[in-house]
């Protein structure tokens, strides 16, 4: 479980600028895939000692009467899930009644808050930071998000304060292959989890407990051990009166992070929503094996089925590596194949890849299709070795590698994928340049 940092503040104080700074990644994966709609609200940060999720709470709206309560409630949800809060204020506007109202709310949460005074890029504004002491949130941290002044110092301090990630992925609690079942409310997650566990020859172990809101369910099938990470929480059975759960993106992200393979359910009758596409983008960014389950396939006529298939290809071109399964969790159609697919994807994402083989594939790829010239000099790619598993990481050494265009990276990924027959998982490339 990764810690969660929430960005809070009035509109225009610089939250999304800071968010972009935090989630800017040098990974090949995200930036280079056209069609990948980046969620501008949720991101995964890898910059220093600790990894974490960041949430841009966006929406605090001010009215003549103060803070809009409905908008504030949205922010409260995000704050509830956060381990640490960054309250941003704008040095150019000075201390403001809106800031005070938000600060008061945040103080009541008892959570650690960093007060961040943004836009100090004009020298005369640096002194203003001091006036924000009045908010009672401790020492103000002056930064300029857009000019990258003070940001790294702030983030170093923040990361030092973050709790160490909990480790639910211990062998005891979640043995074997960890499978997250993720999707929006009502897509059929509980039905699928119950269906899988109800299969013949599935032996469900005692459950050692839950972590945050997901339930970990270890089980055995054909002598193989798996753990289902159930984000719907099938234990809600019986609690009849429970209102429809609020969809928690953080819960879904934590499950994806913890899993080896993600089964992402989409209600085929509703098609791919923007939220589906965003979360699927995060599966790619986090780098997990992925099965897209188009559920409720039972209710569709042939025209509708065609339409859904077309929509998937159109909306999710960046997920062409993922298997699509057309299933009915309710009737059990197609469900039996899911675990076989999980098994194959897990194998592909944990395979050992030899440096000599990777280097050979790289060199053949370069001969077949040369990297482009940059300012008259050709990008050189020399050798490759494996840099990690789940997802498979391929480290490529060469010259001017930071200039490689997205299209060429995609070409390399596809070439490695085909040559190594790695299906169902993203492949990450990392480049090391000797100049």
Binding site for ligand GDP (CB under 6 A): 9, 11-17, 118-119, 121, 144-147, 183, 185-191, 232, 295-296, 298-299, 328-330
Q: Which tokens go with 5?
A: 């940092």
Pick 254 or 328: Cβ nearer ligand GDP? 328
DSSP state of 244: P
Q: Which is nearer to ligand GDP, 185 or 372 (CB)?
A: 185
Q: In angstroms, give the least distance from the CB of 149 to ligand GDP.
A: 7
> Minimum distance from CB of 254 to ligand GDP (Å)?
17
Smallest distance from ligand GDP to CB 330, Å: 3
Q: Which residue's entry shows tokens 């030092």?
A: 160
Nearer to ligand GDP, 81 or 230 (CB): 230
Nearest CA-CA partner of 356 in 324, 318, 385: 385
**Cβ proximity to ligand GDP, 151 vs 365, nearer residue:** 151
For the CB of residue 427, give the shortest distance to ligand GDP in the complex, in Å. Answer: 29
Instruction: Give 333 or 414: the residue with its C-beta nearer to ligand GDP.
Output: 333
Minimum distance, C-beta of residue 325 to ligand GDP, in the bound complex (Å):
12
3-class secondary structure, 204: strand
* Nearest approach, Cβ of residue 383 and ligand GDP (Å): 41
Q: For residue 89, which of 104, 103, 99 has the smallest C-alpha distance? A: 99
Contacts of 136 (CB under 8 A, 6+ apart): 103, 107
Q: Least separation, in Å, of the C-beta of 332 and ligand GDP?
A: 9
For 428, phi and psi rounded to 5 degrees?
-105, 135
Nearer to ligand GDP, 227 or 295 (CB): 295
- Nearest-angstrom CA–CA distance, 56 and 11: 11
Q: Which residue has the tokens 């995200």?
A: 30
- Residues placed in the known binding site: 9-16, 56-60, 118-121, 183-190, 230-234, 295-298
Which two tokens mark 163? 């709790």
For residue 18, the Cα-to-chain-centroid distance in whole angstroms is 18
- Residues within the annotated binding site for GTP? 9-16, 56-60, 118-121, 183-190, 230-234, 295-298
Report the C-alpha gap between 230 and 216 in whole angstroms.
6
d(CA 90, CA 44) in angstroms, rounded, equals 25
Q: Which residue is nearest to ligand GDP (CB)?
A: 188
Stretch (H or E) spanning 290: strand 289-295
Checking phi first, is residue 417 left (phi over 0); if not, alpha (psi -120 to 50) or beta?
Answer: alpha
In sequence order, which residues have a C-beta less than 8 Å from that of residue 391 and are 6 or more positions away?
Answer: 287, 288, 289, 349, 425, 426, 427, 428
Q: Which is nearer to ligand GDP, 29 or 335 (CB)?
A: 335
Contacts of 277 (CB under 8 A, 6+ apart): 37, 315, 316
Nearer to ligand GDP, 91 or 396 (CB): 91
Taking the C-alpha atoms of residue 414 and residue 423, their distance in angstroms, rounded to an integer, is: 10
Residue (265 or 362) nearer to ligand GDP, CB: 265
Which DSSP string do the residues of 139-164 spell out, in sequence order? S-EE-BTTTTBSHHHHHHHHHHHSPP
Spatial contact of 124 and 44, defined as CB atoms under 8 Å apart: no
């Amino acid at each position: 479980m990764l810690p969660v940092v929430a960005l809070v503040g009035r509109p225009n104080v610089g939250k999304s600028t800071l968010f972009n700074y935090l989630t800017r990644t040098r990974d090949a994966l995200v930036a280079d895939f056209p069609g990948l709609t980046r969620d501008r609200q949720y991101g995964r940060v890898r910059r220093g000692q600790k990894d974490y999720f960041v949430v841009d709470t966006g929406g605090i709206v001010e009215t003549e009467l103060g803070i809009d309560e409905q908008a504030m409630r949205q922010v409260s949800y995000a704050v509830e899930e956060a381990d640490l809060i960054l309250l941003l204020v704008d040095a150019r506007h000075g201390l403001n009644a809106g800031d005070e109202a938000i600060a008061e709310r945040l103080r009541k949460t008892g959570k650690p808050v960093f007060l961040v005074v943004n836009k100090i890029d004009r020298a005369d504004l640096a002194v203003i930071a001091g006036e924000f002491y009045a908010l009672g949130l401790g020492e103000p941290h002056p930064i300029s998000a857009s000019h990258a002044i003070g940001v790294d110092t702030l983030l170093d301090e923040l990361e030092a304060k973050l709790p160490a990630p909990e480790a639910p992925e211990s062998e005891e609690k979640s043995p074997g292959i960890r499978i997250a079942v993720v999707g929006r409310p009502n897509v059929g997650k509980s039905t699928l989890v119950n269906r899988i566990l109800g299969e013949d020859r599935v032996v469900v172990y005692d459950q050692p407990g839950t972590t945050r809101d997901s339930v970990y369910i270890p089980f055995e099938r054909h002598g193989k051990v798996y753990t289902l990470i159930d984000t719907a929480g099938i234990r809600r059975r019986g609690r009849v009166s429970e209102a429809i759960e609020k969809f928690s993106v953080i819960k879904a992200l934590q499950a994806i992070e913890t899993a080896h393979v993600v089964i992402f359910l989409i209600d085929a009758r509703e098609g791919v929503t923007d939220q589906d596409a965003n979360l699927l983008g995060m599966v790619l960014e986090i780098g997990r094996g992925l099965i897209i389950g188009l559920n409720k396939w039972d209710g569709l006529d042939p025209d509708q089925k065609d339409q859904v298939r077309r929509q998937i290809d159109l909306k999710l071109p960046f997920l062409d590596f993922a298997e699509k399964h057309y299933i009915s969790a309710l009737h059990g159609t197609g469900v039996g194949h899911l675990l076989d697919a999980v098994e194959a994807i897990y194998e592909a994402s944990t395979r050992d890849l030899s440096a000599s083989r990777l280097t050979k594939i790289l060199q053949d790829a370069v001969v077949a299709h040369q990297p482009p010239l940059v300012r008259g000099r050709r990008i050189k790619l020399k050798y490759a070795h494996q840099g990690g598993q789940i997802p498979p990481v391929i480290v490529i050494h060469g010259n001017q590698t930071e200039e490689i265009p997205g299209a060429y990276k995609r070409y390399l990924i596809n070439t490695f994928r085909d040559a190594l027959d790695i299906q169902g998982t993203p492949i990450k490339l990392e480049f090391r340049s000797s100049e």
